[in-house]
């Protein structure tokens, strides 16, 4: 392990990056304030919880932390490792024929629900099905139809109920494959996407008419991998572009349009204007992960507008705050959402994409103050109203080395939480989660 990698790894063994060792179940959790009685479901969030002190935090085994809410109370908290095949026993990363072993997985990045299945995801492997009580069912390959990895950021179309996703990671072409699952959970489309090299394609976007792929200059580097460093590094010569694939012609030509070099981990949303242009909003980094260091750039909220006919692109910064983990009301995915809620510096930041304004829910300098991703939960199943509901997320309290589930009223995000659920142990920093309603 190089000195740089060793230093980075050591950061992830202290404070709230450090793993927890116990799998707990606790009932009737204490609450400050009042949980809205309309909330009934599970809040589940995934993240790395390494079982050993070696290696990078990114490679830690996945652990789901969940809270069950019903009848105005926090009924239970549970945390469970995702017991993948490679968690249970030694599983080689590659099969005897040299292909990737897609069941070898840490399943540590996201948890999504579609067609009655709750799936723990990491982009290098097959998904793993779990129950809403966090027990692992096993690897899920859509009845043998998926022979590729699955992104940790699938998109579910609220109009059709289809789930769109991609996989990447093959050394040989095609490096990327596009997949589509119908509303009943049947995998219907597998289609290779031609890109020049194996890049780290973490997220993508979906509009009513297009799937949009992000081919960006973080590229697989065998030398870095052999040296024990992150195997993906910045490449000045690779370029950056969006690939537009029409949803009604999934095996048709991908239209590629160039953009200024950058990297995007997380897309907030994408939609189409009345004139047919595509608008994509995401957290943009001007560069990342140069080999040997030298890049400490922060991500800011950015927007691109693309004419799919001419290929013309305009882009610009929406705000100068450093943010990550942007989320919208998922009922507005593929359509123009007004609000994006992101994680800022000891704050949740909600941007108004119509006015350009931003409102922060700032956490105090002491006490609970280090929030993770916030998920929007609507108050009913009716038409989308982004101010009628709540934001939920885990917040770490360094003073007591513990964590809470914080619930904000979406109509007044700057106000005090409507409820704070005190958890029986610390929830380490993690990645993504979702609310699964009854």
65 assigned ligand-binding residue: no
Q: For 17, phi and psi rounded to 5 degrees?
A: -80, -25
Q: For 274, phi and psi rounded to 5 degrees?
A: -65, -25
* Phi-psi category of residue 136: left, alpha or beta, with phi > 0 → left and psi -120 to 50 → alpha: beta
Contact 340, 283 (CB under 8 A): no
- Three state DSSP letters for 213-244: EEECCEEECHHHHHCCCCCEEECCCCCCEEEE
202 assigned ligand-binding residue: yes
153 assigned ligand-binding residue: yes
Structure-block tokens of residue 219: 């590229």
Q: What does R_g of the chain's alpha carbons equal in angstroms?
A: 21
432 assigned ligand-binding residue: yes
Q: Among 125, 128, 124, which residue's Cα sits nearest to residue 201?
A: 124
CA pair distance 62, 108, nearest whole angstrom: 4
CA pair distance 70, 73, nearest whole angstrom: 6
Q: Which residues are annotated as a binding site for Fe cation?
A: 153, 202, 266, 432
Q: Which residues are annotated as a binding site?
A: 153, 202, 266, 432
């Amino acid at each position: 392990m190089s000195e740089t990698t060793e230093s980075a790894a050591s950061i992830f063994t202290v404070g709230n990056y450090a793993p927890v060792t116990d799998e707990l179940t606790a009932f009737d959790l204490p609450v400050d304030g009042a949980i809205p009685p309309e909330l009934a479901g599970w809040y589940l969030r995934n993240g790395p919880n390494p079982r050993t002190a070696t290696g990078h935090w990114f490679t830690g085994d996945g652990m789901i932390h969940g809270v069950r809410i019903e009848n105005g109370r926090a009924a239970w908290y549970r945390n469970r490792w995702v017991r993948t095949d490679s968690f249970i026993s030694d599983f080689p990363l590659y099969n005897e024929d040299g292909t990737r072993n897609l069941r070898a997985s840490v399943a540590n990045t996201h948890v999504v629900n579609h067609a009655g299945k709750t799936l723990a995801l990491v982009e290098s492997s097959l998904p793993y099905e779990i129950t809403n009580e966090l027990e692992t069912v096993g690897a899920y390959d859509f009845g043998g139809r998926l022979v590729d990895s699955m992104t940790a950021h699938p998109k579910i179309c609220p109009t059709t109920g289809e789930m769109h996703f991609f996989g990447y990671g093959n050394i040989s072409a095609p490096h990327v494959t596009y997949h589509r699952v119908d509303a009943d959970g049947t995998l219907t489309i597998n289609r290779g996407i031609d890109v020049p090299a194996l890049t780290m394609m973490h997220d993508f976007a979906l509009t009513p008419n297009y799937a949009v792929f992000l081919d960006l200059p973080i590229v697989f580097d065998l030398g870095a991998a052999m040296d024990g460093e992150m195997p993906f590094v910045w490449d000045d010569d690779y370029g950056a572009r969006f690939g537009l694939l029409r949803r009604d012609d999934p095996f048709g030509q991908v239209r590629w349009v160039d953009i200024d070099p950058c990297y995007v981990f997380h897309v907030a949303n994408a939609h189409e204007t009345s004139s047919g242009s595509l608008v994509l909003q995401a957290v943009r980094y001007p560069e990342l992960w140069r080999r040997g260091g030298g890049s400490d750039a922060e991500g800011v909220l950015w927007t691109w507008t693309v004419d799919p006919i001419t290929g013309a692109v305009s882009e610009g910064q929406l705000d100068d705050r450093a943010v990550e983990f942007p989320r919208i009301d998922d009922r507005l995915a593929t359509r123009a959402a007004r609000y994006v809620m992101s994680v800022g510096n000891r704050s949740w930041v909600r941007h108004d994409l119509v006015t350009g304004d931003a409102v922060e829910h700032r956490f105090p300098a002491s006490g609970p103050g280090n929030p993770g991703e916030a998920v929007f939960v609507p108050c009913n199943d009716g038409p989308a109203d982004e101010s009628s509901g709540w934001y939920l997320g885990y917040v770490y309290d360094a003073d007591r080395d513990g964590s809470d589930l914080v619930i904000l009223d979406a109509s007044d995000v700057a106000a005090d939480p409507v409820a704070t659920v005190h958890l029986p142990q610390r929830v380490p920093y993690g990645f993504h989660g979702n609310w699964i309603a009854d």
